[in-house]
Amino acid sequence: MSFSGGILLFFAFPPFNAGFLAFFGFIPVLISSRENDKRNFLIGAAAGFVFYSISFSWLYPLAGFLYLLLPLYLCLYWGLFLHLLFLLPAKGRIFTGAFIWFFLEIIVSNMLTGLPWLLLGLSQWQNTHMLKIAGVCGIYGISFIVILGNLALFHIFRKKNAVSFFFSLLVFVLVFVFPYERLDSTMDSGRLDVMIVQPGVISKESRNPGEILNAVKNLTEKNIKIGNPSLVIWPEGSFPDILSDYPGFMKDIEVFCRKFSVSLIMGTFVNEGNELYNSAIMFGHDGLQVYRKNHLVPYGEFILGGNWRFIRDIFEKTAGYIPNIKHGDEQKMFYMNGVKIAPLICFENIFPGMTKNSSKRKAEVFVVITNDSWYGTFSGPFQHFAHNALRAAESGRYFLQASLAGISGAVSPSGKILGAVEKEGRKLFVEGVVFTGIPLKKGSTFYSEHGDLALFIIAVLFTGVILCRKQKK
C-alpha cells in the first residue's frame, strides 16, 4: 500500500498538476506503518523510492539506471520521517510530525550541495490560495501545511488526536482568511517590456556554436519589431562555447543591440584565469556585464566527491568525460538604465535562498536562462518551470524564463503564467518568442525579509516542548 502513496504523490506534481492529491497522497504510507516498528523506515523509504524513481525518470536518457542513485538517496528522508513520526508522543503528533517534515526539507535543501527539487510545496504551484503562504513562510511553509493535512486526516480516521485535528482545521481556515497583503510591502517601481526567445534547439544534436547563435539571432530579428521590447532574453546555451574567443560574434551582437536599441541577456561560457564558468552575459547601454553561475549541477558541471580519485574514475568511465566548470562566488546583479535584474542560470531558481538574497539586494525582476532540452518531453521541464511560481510568490517579483527548447515564459507573483512560447499546443521543442510587459517591483515580502526564521523558531519551540514532556513521563 505504501507504493500507492508514492504513485499518488507523483500525479500531484507537474506535468499533471493534480495538486489536491498532495493533501492525502501520503495517507497510504501512514496506514502501512505501525507504532514503534523498526520497519517504518523501510516502508517510508520504499514509498519515497517509488515517488522519486518515477518523478526523476526523465534522467534515464542522460544517466541510464545510474539515475536511481538519486531516488535511493532522497528516499532516505521519507524513511527517516516515518521512523521518527511513530516514535513521537501520540499527543501533538499531527503538528510535531509536520514540523519534522519541515526540518527534513530544509536539510535536503542544504545537505551536500542541496537539492530542493520536488519539495512537497511545489505541488501547489498553481494553487493561488496556497501560494499566498509563500510570501510569508516560503515553500517550506506550504510543505508544512500539505503534510499537516495528510497527518490530520490520517489521525481523525483513526479517531485519535481530536484536539490536534481541531487546531489543524483552524490552520487551514487561517490559510484562506489571513490578510497576507498586510505583510507585503512590495510595490510597482516601473515597467519592463521584454522579448523571450526560444529557438527550439536540441543540445544532444551536435551543432556548431555559431550555428546555434545565428538561429537564435535570426529568430529574434524576424519577430522583434512586433513587440518593440527594451530587453531581449536568450537562453542558456545560446553560444555553447567561450564567446570572447570569437570577436566577430561579439561584434555582431553589439551591432544587433544598437540597431534595435535593446539590452540583451544570453548564456555562454566565460574563461578567466584558465577557469571556465557557465555564465550569463548582458549587452547594452551599461556595457558588458557578466554573472558566473553560483550553484552548479552535480555530475553535470562538477563531480560531487571528486576529491576521491575512485569517484572521478567511475564517473569518467561511465560518462566519458570529466566536467571542469567552476562556480562563481557572487550573486551579481545586472543593471539596465537603473533597473536591477537578478540573473539565474539553469536550476538556480529551485533554491529559495538565492532568490531571497537577490530580493534583499533590491532586485526588481528575475531572469532565468536555462537549457532544459536535456530533460526530454516528460516531466523534467515542467517541474523546473513550476519553481518559478514559488520563487515569484516568495519574493513578490516577476520571473522571466528563457529556455533553449522550452519551457519559456513569464510568471507573476500570484503564480499566474502571463505568456509562454507555444505552438500547436506544445511548449517543448518548438521555436517561438513571447512578448510581455511586466511591472518592476520594489519593497519586500515577509519571506524575502525574514526567510524561514519565524517558522523555524516555532518549529523548534513546539517540537522541543513535546519531546521534553515525553522525557518527563
Contact call for residues 230 and 205 (beta carbons, < 8 A): no
CA 392 to chain CA mean position, Å: 11
Task: Give the SS3 label for residue 370.
Answer: strand
Across the range 6-14, mean pLDDT stands at 95
**Could you give the CA distance from residue 51 to residue 83 in angstroms, rounded to a whole number?**
18
Across the range 47-58, mean pLDDT stands at 96
pLDDT tens-digit map of 157-197: 766 666 677 777 788 888 787 888 888 889 999 999 999 99
Let me know if 93 is exposed, middle or buried by CB neighbors in 10 A (0-12, 13-18, 19+): buried
Please give the backbone phi and psi of residue 157, each rounded to the nearest 5 degrees, phi first.
Answer: -65, -30
Q: What pLDDT was estimated at residue 472?
A: 57
Count of residues in the chain: 473
pTM of the predicted protein model: 0.94
What residues contact 421, with CB distance under 8 A and at least 6 apart? 196, 198, 406, 407, 408, 409, 427, 430, 431, 432, 433, 434
Please give the backbone phi and psi of residue 267, each rounded to the nearest 5 degrees, phi first.
Answer: -105, 135
**Could you give the CA distance from residue 27 to residue 32 in angstroms, rounded to a whole number?**
9
Please give the backbone phi and psi of residue 341, each rounded to the nearest 5 degrees, phi first.
Answer: -115, 130
Across the range 52-63, mean pLDDT stands at 92
pLDDT tens-digit map of 240-294: 999 999 999 999 999 999 999 999 999 999 999 889 999 999 999 888 999 999 9
To the nearest whole percent, how much of the chain has pLDDT over 70?
96
Across the range 51-69, mean pLDDT stands at 91
Radius of gyration of the chain from its Cα atoms, rounded to whole angstroms: 23
**Could you give the CA distance from residue 463 to residue 279 in angstroms, rounded to a whole number?**
43
**Could you give the CA distance from residue 165 to residue 163 in angstroms, rounded to a whole number?**
5
Q: Which three cell numbers stand for residue 159?
A: 479517531
**Could you give the CA distance from residue 447 to residue 186 in angstroms, rounded to a whole number?**
12
Q: In whole numbers, what is the pLDDT of the chain averaged over residues?
A: 91
CA atoms within 13 A on the CB side of 365: 27
Q: What pLDDT was estimated at residue 212?
A: 92
**Could you give the CA distance from residue 15 to residue 8 in angstroms, rounded to a whole number?**
13
Lookup result for grid cell 577557469: 275
Considering only 66-80, 203-217, 340-354, which range has the smallest mean pLDDT?
A: 203-217
* Pairing mode, strands 334-336 and 339-345: antiparallel
**What's the 3-state SS for 263-314?**
EEEEEEEEEECCEEEEEEEEECCCCCEEEECCCCCECCCECCCCCCHHHHHH
- Per-residue confidence at 20, pLDDT binned at 50, 70, 90? very high
Beginning with the edge strand found earlier in the chain, give each strand of the sheet holding 365-370 in spatial order.
334-336, 339-345, 365-370, 399-403, 409-411, 417-420
- Per-residue confidence at 206, pLDDT binned at 50, 70, 90? low
CA 466-470-473 angle, to 5 degrees, is 140
Could you give the residue ranges of the DSSP H alpha helices within 158-240? 162-177, 209-227
pLDDT tens-digit map of 125-136: 999 989 999 999
Q: Give the residues across from 420 on adjacent strands.
A: 409
* pLDDT of 79 over the 70 cut: yes
Contact call for residues 235 and 402 (beta carbons, < 8 A): yes
Q: How many Cβ atoms sit within 10 Å of the Cβ of residue 60?
A: 15
What residues contact 384, with CB distance under 8 A and at least 6 apart? 347, 349, 350, 370, 372, 375, 407
* pLDDT of 203 over the 90 cut: no
Q: Which three cell numbers stand for residue 261?
A: 536599441
Nearest to 404 by CA among 206, 210, 212: 212
Please give the backbone phi and psi of residue 158, each rounded to the nearest 5 degrees, phi first.
Answer: -90, 5
**Could you give the CA distance from residue 266 to residue 365 in angstroms, rounded to a whole number?**
16
Which domains are seen in the chain, by residue range?
2-182+451-472 (no CATH), 187-294+329-444 (3.60.110.10), 298-324 (no CATH)
Q: For residues 379 and 465, which has the higher predicted lDDT (pLDDT)? A: 379
Residue 457: enclosing H or E segment and its boundaries? helix 453-472
**Could you give the CA distance from residue 131 to residue 342 in angstroms, rounded to a whole number?**
21
